[in-house]
Structure 1
């Protein structure tokens, strides 16, 4: 199986699909590369698509004493690109993956082509968070109740009626220490002070009915990143990329085509 070694010798699992200009897809918090299973194929005809399991998830290592942080996850992505011999790639990150993508563009500008940030935020005092009632609902002891809350945050009731699951965006089994590490990593993200350093062409995507990451996060990001464009999905929730797949994928593909690597 393909693995890339990080600076601290952790092994990061990755997969490569399709052909064309490289495109890294980055999943949400406490999720594996399977987050992209339902939409990954939309990009494979035009792009060499790279997906991976973050440290602590899936088939990647899950060390107890490791640093779990979105900036570290960005460095791990670069290790995957190095393993594949890829000098530059487009990056599309959603939710926590959008936070990782921001740090890729900030810390490794020469490795990034176009940047797509979906349902994510700048973090810190400038990032809008979910209502405290939602956070409390997600920390209740009943796994079934938490799953019900997550489904409602991700998808509209209409979509759920027509697509009863299973859903690939509800988190993956992982050790408690790694799950806590992912939560801390996402909550600690704060890129505001350096977002204006991003030079990559940037597209910001968001569902207008996203209660997990409130929609105004999109304009906050776009106003801070030079030249960034915004596209909204009217009525969509956190998993806009899946529920509004046709519109979302075509929007991303068009943006990437406008900003080739060469």
Structure 2
């Protein structure tokens, strides 16, 4: 892949139990900060966070299988359980005993799926426009991408999920070179397989294959109630709207919550300066709990 704007990193590779290559960033040294992205983003989402903190912290950002620079197998299950298992295996491989976890979008269910099972390894949590609990809410523009035949044509054939996110998920116009960075890994039908499968894997009913896994993740949140939490929320998110923000605050009333009314789903793009003003103190306060 050619050089991408604001992404001067050398990704590393981890082999999953089934032999697939999982790409990840491991930059800097010090207390660990682990970041979990969602769909249709990849580790590129956290590029500015890594650049800012790699001088003081060990910044680890995996690309979920099928995303970013990771392998994109065409016959893989791509279920929530698979992503949690891969995430867990990577952190075990890297011997991450304690970390601050930052989650966004699908990274919420994946990252919290790991955190709730390993609360003793969590020093703090940063929540960015995401969910890790059941909801029947689904934006129509996402629901359409789940329809049989039409969904595959839109998402994989016409790039009708990753490409619209570059303007629907932000309030500020995304620079052309940044848009190129977000879209670079998803340049063909085959390379968009996980983008589509993530959309299909949203569990809205008990019969869905990932419903029981999401219930486990939701129930495990109770194990994290005593953890420091910073919530940074974009108020113009059409997907994870104010309903989800309110639920996070209800579940974690002790959280330090910040609402950015003029930021969208990609809150790190629209409210980066404001969030970067909050993160240093939060990480510093958690660092005494990080090995």
Q: TM-score, normalised by structure 1?
A: 0.83
User: Does residue 247 of structure 1 match 2:274?
Assistant: yes
Aligned residue pairs total 257
How far residue 213 of structure 1 moved from its aligned partner, in angstroms, is 1.3
Distance 1:13 1:153, change over 3 A: same
Match in the other structure for 1:88: 98
Match in the other structure for 1:18: 28
User: Does residue 166 of structure 1 match 2:184?
Assistant: no
Of 223, 227, 247, 1:220 maps to 247
Contact 1:105 1:115 in 2 (8 A): no
Contact 1:68 1:181 in 2 (8 A): yes
> Helix, strand or coil for the counterpart of 1:77?
helix
Distance 1:154 1:160, change over 3 A: same
Taking the aligned partners of 1:248 and 1:17, their CA distance within structure 2 comes to: 20
* Pairs within 5 Å for 1:93-172: 93-125=103-135, 128-130=137-139, 132-133=140-141, 135-136=143-144, 139=151, 141=154, 143=158, 149-156=164-171, 159-160=172-173, 163-167=175-179, 168-169=181-182, 172=185
Of 197, 200, 222, 1:184 maps to 200
> Helix, strand or coil for the counterpart of 2:73?
coil
Distance 1:88 1:145, change over 3 A: closer
Match in the other structure for 2:206: none
Q: TM-score, normalised by structure 2?
A: 0.75
Distance 1:69 1:229, change over 3 A: farther
Taking the aligned partners of 1:102 and 1:194, their CA distance within structure 2 comes to: 8
Distance 1:166 1:181, change over 3 A: same
Question: Which shows bigger deviation, 34-43 or 186-195?
Answer: 186-195
Of 220, 225, 230, 1:194 maps to 220
How far residue 165 of structure 1 moved from its aligned partner, in angstroms, is 4.5
Taking the aligned partners of 1:228 and 1:74, their CA distance within structure 2 comes to: 24
* Pairs within 5 Å for 1:60-71: 60-71=70-81
Q: C-alpha root-mean-square deviation of aligned residues, in Å?
A: 2.9
> Helix, strand or coil for the counterpart of 1:205?
strand
Segments of 5+ residues of structure 1 without an aligned counterpart are none
Contact 2:185 2:191 in 1 (8 A): no
Contact 1:207 1:235 in 2 (8 A): yes
Segments of 5+ residues of structure 2 without an aligned counterpart are 1-10, 204-209
Taking the aligned partners of 2:184 and 2:249, their CA distance within structure 1 comes to: 28
